[in-house]
Chains A and B, each alone.
Chain A
Amino acid sequence: MQVLTVLGTIVGIFVLQFFESFFLALLGFRLSFVLFLAWYKRIDWKKLLPVVVVVSVAFDVTMNYRLGTNLALFVLPAFLLWLSSKIFSLESIVGLHVTNFFSSFLFYILNYILPDFLERGVFGFLDWKMVLICVVKALATTVLLWLLEVLLKGWRGRGNASQIRLK
């Protein structure tokens, strides 16, 4: 079973690489961050961390970034999520989606400015048009996360249908 999980994870990383490059070229949208936010609270960190490190190293090489750049792009919004959880309740729908939006927004802004800073010590170019595009992408990410949440809840709910409950 564990072998199957490992094989499935390896295949999944290759599939993710394809779709990440596909959506990046098509819409400038990073699918990996949606998946990262979806799994961050759901999967045990001991299982998630090695996958995130491997995926981020693969992205660094295929995007010709310095190693560690994509890991930084994932970690900084995750840090914002952690900070928000100390201030707001992430159990409420509004709290959860608002923090997801701001984490995604931070991710897309960093996507423009961080790689150049880590490579050459100069922040990448950012103007108001690009900030607006980041807002739209962050909204799209939040909506996708909400849809994933609804799908997972529906799947879990259907899973219990075969059980008989004694009251």
Chain B
Amino acid sequence: MKKQKKAFTLADKNLFLPIAVLVMLLLFFLDGTKLLQPLRTGVSFLFQPISADGSDLGSRINKKFEIIVQISKFQKEFNQMKLDMYEKDVNNSYFVTLQEEKDALQKQLNLANKDGEYLMAKVLGEERIEFLRINKGKSDGVGVGDAVSLGNLFLGVVERVDEYSSKVLLPTAKGSSYEVFITKVGVEQGVVNADEVQIVSKGVIQGVGDYIRIENISSNSNVEDGDVVVISDSKVGDYLVVGKVVGLSSNPAETSKNGRVEMMLDSRYLMSVFVNIKK
């Protein structure tokens, strides 16, 4: 007796993977052309509030556990902060002078004086070293390219905006680079040791992933470890402090110096930030 061959039908096959790959490629392509912006807006309207609530609850419980686990470390930090407060009080009186110098420099370097509005945003959960997410989006006036800061400290630039949330690319992210200048503003034993802002050298900072590399520092300059790195990039449009120079190379044969930048703030512990909304 001849065996009857079972007719081949697509219905018999598990087509999950091939169809999923096709849908995936279609979504990549359409999102790149901005045709799916209304879909993103609608999905953001539906899911962002519940996602933000879940993220907020998870973050708060995470931080409670962290406090319990690191209580002795927090005690040492608290004591150190009391000493730092004295130095900061002196520094604050100096910032008025810095503001005047900043305005003068802006005019000198022809950077447009963009009068922006600062919007306070909350950092959403999931600690990542290359980006952070905030709970403000298009509906609040946030746009791609807006600078994010905390006081005079630079935190990053908005990379992607949805209706109710945004993604901020940190300067540590691979592929990000900014023009900077280095200055020697500092305080020693409670005394400000500079009369005016002096640009010691210009340079470029590049994100490497877990740290920031600074390059193209003039080899003739007297840049030292501990000097302050300030952003002077038109992408940011404002002078904001990034951090301090550490690990400066000391090879006399090099045509330019390089080193690392230690950020003033650890982005993992941020809870609120400010977005400079461009008008």
Q: Which residues of B contact A (CB under 8 A)?
A: 14-17, 19-21, 23-28, 30-32, 36, 39-40, 43-44, 46-48, 50-59, 61-62, 124-127, 129-130, 133, 159-162, 165-167, 173-175, 208-210
A114 to chain B, nearest CB (A): 11
| A61 in contact with B58 (CB, 8 Å) | no
- Is the beta-carbon distance between B47 and A124 smaller than 8 angstroms? no
In the complex, chain B residues whose CB is within 8 Å of the CB of A123: 174
Chain A 111-135 interface residues, beta-carbon cutoff 8 Å to B = 116, 118-127
Interface string of A94-121 (1 = CB under 8 A from B): 0000000000000000000000101111
Assess the A26–B31 pair: CB atoms within 8 A: no
Distance in Å: Cβ of A121 to nearest Cβ of chain B: 8
- Closest CB pairs A-B (n = 5): A25-B125, A125-B209, A25-B58, A21-B54, A68-B27
Jot down 15 A-B pairs with beta carbons below 8 A, ordered by A.
A18-B53, A19-B54, A20-B54, A25-B56, A25-B58, A26-B59, A45-B14, A45-B15, A58-B46, A61-B43, A64-B166, A67-B27, A68-B25, A125-B129, A125-B130
The reply to whether B16 and A25 contact each other, CB–CB distance below 8 Å, is no
Structural contact, B54 and A18, CB atoms closer than 8 A? yes
The answer to whether A67 and B17 have CB atoms under 8 Å apart is no
| A57 in contact with B39 (CB, 8 Å) | yes
Q: Are A64 and B165 interface neighbours, CB within 8 A?
A: yes
Instruction: Select B36's contact among A17, A18, A49, A67, beta carbons within 8 Å.
Output: A67
Report yes or no: B20 in contact with A49, Cβ–Cβ below 8 A: yes
Complex-state Cα separation, A48 to B14, whole angstroms: 11
B160 touches A26 (CB 8 A): no
User: A14-54: which residues lie under 8 A (CB-CB) from chain B?
Assistant: 14, 17-28, 40, 45, 48-49, 52-53
| Segment at the B interface, from A74-82, A138-146, A150-158, A159-167 | A74-82
Q: Is the CB of B50 within 8 A of A14?
A: yes
Residues of chain A whose beta carbon lies under 8 Å from any beta carbon of chain B: 14, 17-28, 40, 45, 48-49, 52-53, 57-58, 60-68, 71-72, 74-75, 78-79, 82, 116, 118-127
A58 close to B43 (CB less than 8 A): yes
Contact residues in A for B210 (Cβ distance below 8 Å): 125, 127
Interface residues of chain A: helix, strand, loop or mixed (majority): helix
B24 adjacent to A72 (CB under 8 Å): yes
When C-beta atoms are compared, the residue in chain A nearest to B127 turns out to be A28
Name the B residues within 8 Å of A124 (CB-CB): 130, 174, 209
- Residues of chain B with a CB closer than 8 A to A65's CB: 160
CA distance A48 to B15 in the complex (A): 11
Known interface pairs A21-B125, A75-B21; A119-B159 also in contact (CB < 8 Å): yes
Contact indicator A75/B17 (Cβ below 8 Å): yes
Q: A18-B54, A19-B54, A58-B47 known; A79 and B160 CB under 8 Å?
A: no
Contact of B62 among A26, A78, A127 (CB under 8 A): A26
Residues of B within 8 A of A71 (CB): 20, 23-24, 27
Q: CB < 8 Å: which of A23, A52, A122 contacts B175? A: A122
